[in-house]
Amino acid sequence: MPTEAAATTAIQEAPSGTRYFPVPLEAIDNCVLEMDLYLKTGVRETIVLYRGIGVPFNEEHRERLAEQKITFLYVPMHQHKAYRRMLTQRLDKVFHDPQMKREERTRIVRASCERMVEEAMLFPDPGMAVAGVSDISEQFSAWMAEGSEEFSYLLDMSAHDFYTVTHMVNVGVGCGLLARELRPDEPELHQQFILGGLLHDIGKRGIPEAVLNKEGRLTPEEWLLIKAHPLKGYKMLTATRSVPEAVLEMTRDHHEKLDGSGYPAGLRGDDIGLAARICAVIDVYDAISAQRPYRGPTPPRETLRIMGEAPGQHFDPVILQIWTDIVERLLEQDASRAVPDGKEPSNLTLDGLVQDAPVNVVGIATDAPVRKEGADRRVYPRFDCNVPIKARFIWQGKQYRSLKGGTLTVRAKDISRGGMLIEAGVALTLNDVLELELPGLKGTIQKRFVRVVRIRRSSEERWEAGVRFIASRPVG
């Protein structure tokens, strides 16, 4: 029987050469099947036919499979179109089900759409990938045309984790909402902009998850791999017939900036098209607001404040203002859909989050160049610095020594909004909590609590420690 991990990461190939893709049980509708369903059986996990075209599948079958701990079935690759048709019909029924709570409807629809995008990222044929995502964009466009308020709940505003497929679905929804506001009488354009948002990161296909979700600093090689994704995605899509120009533009240019400091081409001002400008706003909004393994979510208004600090440099100011108005309207309609403001520190800057320029971060001034590895992928780029700071032990991860209350001088080597790399003359231990005195502008001092999350020896008598900012000192 398939494990969930194996089923979600691989397309299966039988000895006959037929290829199959995994389908979760909850995605299969109660219906007369228009596709064949296979399962794995036996010690060698041979793929065998479970139910064929024209045979009913119902809740009883689903329950029996679940009792056997089978959570995924398999569909032949050449029947993917029939599966997509079944899935979009099922999603439409869920989306309009009056007996189901909105939270449950939204959860099912989002999870299924993320699954379809994930499959698209796995398929070796870009044409099949685009076809699958196009079905989602058409369905999204139809739902949005019925009323943007209900459709807007598919935008997870700031409680979600940041993973590639979750991000792509969010950007697709956001681009649709923004396109509708900008061009209300052009539904065909709405669908194209949704599709572009859903596909904008398709160039990340093939990049290892360890690189995409890496918390620490990317190596130069890893950063080049990430930075190549806009052109890689653009080339994939140009090899596929009938991809609209707006979609190509969004994929290629969503990291360009109005001041010319973006990539891959360093486009400036009017050389960046409307579609790419829209995608850039939604892309960064979702990247900043999303929850990461090393920090919580950033509230919507705080995210917008950060994005609004450099008007005309990164974002089109008109488009950013319209998106701000949309978010404010959504929050007024239902404030519970996002984490409340005030949960994150208010001293954050756009430069410190998404720009490639030296700035003051949590009070440390440095003229050192930005370390660009990962600045695109991570919300918080790291900045080199070489500043001595005072540290005081608050809590010890291991109790074999007595350092609580003791002070020492450490050296800050780099810093981001999320944490720092410090070097010390003593070996810190995991989960040590320190109070750091960070030098700020005009002689000010900011005290911040940090927890040690990584340690390594940097020389014979020195140790480097990765520390993460925490809200307050622990009890005890």
Residue 148 pLDDT greater than 50, yes or no = yes
State the amino acid at position 376 in one-letter form. Answer: D
* Burial of 293 from C-beta contacts in 10 A (0-12 / 13-18 / 19+): exposed
Residue 24's pLDDT band (cuts 50, 70, 90): confident
Residue 98's CB is within 10 A of a number of other CB atoms, namely 5
Question: What is the C-alpha separation between 187 and 169, in angstroms, rounded?
Answer: 19
Segment 326-344 mean pLDDT: 76
* DSSP class of 17: S
CA distance 336 to 261: 37
Residue 306 CA to residue 300 CA, distance in Å, equals 10
Q: Which residues contact 291 (CB under 8 A, 6 or more apart)?
A: 158, 159, 160, 161, 162, 297
361: alpha, beta or left, given left = phi > 0 and alpha = psi -120 to 50? beta
The residue behind tokens 């990161």 is 201
What is the per-residue pLDDT across 273-287, written as a single tens digit (0 to 9) for each? 999 999 999 999 998
pLDDT tens-digit map of 47-61? 899 999 999 999 999
Least confidently predicted of 241-255, 325-339, 440-454: 440-454
The full set of domains in the chain, from first to last, is: 1-77 (no CATH), 96-337 (1.10.3210.10), 363-470 (2.40.10.220)
**pLDDT above 60: residue 189:** yes
DSSP per position, 367-387: -SPEE-TTTTTSSS-EEEEEE
Predicted pLDDT at 29: 83
Q: What is the CA radius of gyration of the chain?
A: 25
Is the per-residue pLDDT at 127 higher than 70? Answer: yes
- CA 60 from chain center: how many Å? 36
Closest CA to 111 of 35, 26, 212, 208: 26
Q: What pairing do the DSSP bridges indicate for beta strands 12-13 and 37-41? A: unpaired
* Dist. CA 344–CA 295, nearest whole Å: 9
The average confidence (pLDDT) of the chain is 79
Contact predicate 297/339, CB 8 Å: yes
**Residue 142 confidence (pLDDT) above 80:** yes
The mean pLDDT value for 409-437 works out to 85
Short-list 429, 464, 468, CA closest to 448:
468
pLDDT the model gives residue 6: 38
Distance CA 170, CA 194 (A): 10
Q: Which long-range contacts (CB under 8 A, 24 or more apart) does 243-248 make?
A: 243/130, 244/192, 244/195, 244/196, 246/189, 246/192, 246/193, 246/196, 246/273, 246/275, 247/192, 247/195, 247/196, 247/199, 247/275
When pLDDT is cut at 50, 70 and 90, the band that residue 170 belongs to is very high
- Residue pair 381/349 in contact (Cβ under 8 Å)? The answer is no
Q: How far apart are the first and last CA of the chain?
A: 48
Parallel, antiparallel or unpaired: strands 19-24 and 46-51: unpaired
Rounded CA gap, 347 and 345, in Å? 6
Residue 88 confidence (pLDDT) above 70:
yes
Q: What is the mean pLDDT of residues 241-262?
A: 94
Distance CA 436, CA 426 (A): 16
Q: pLDDT band for 36, please (50, 70, 90 cuts).
A: very high
Q: How many angstroms separate the CA atoms of 238 and 232, rounded?
A: 10
CA 365 from chain center: how many Å? 30
pLDDT for 238 = 93
Q: Is the pTM of this model over 0.75?
A: no
- Percentage of the chain lying above the pLDDT 70 cut: 79
Closest by Cα among 118, 139, 88 to 22: 118
Q: How many CB atoms lie within 10 A of CB 146?
A: 11
Q: What angle do CA 183, 185, 188 make, to 5 degrees?
A: 85
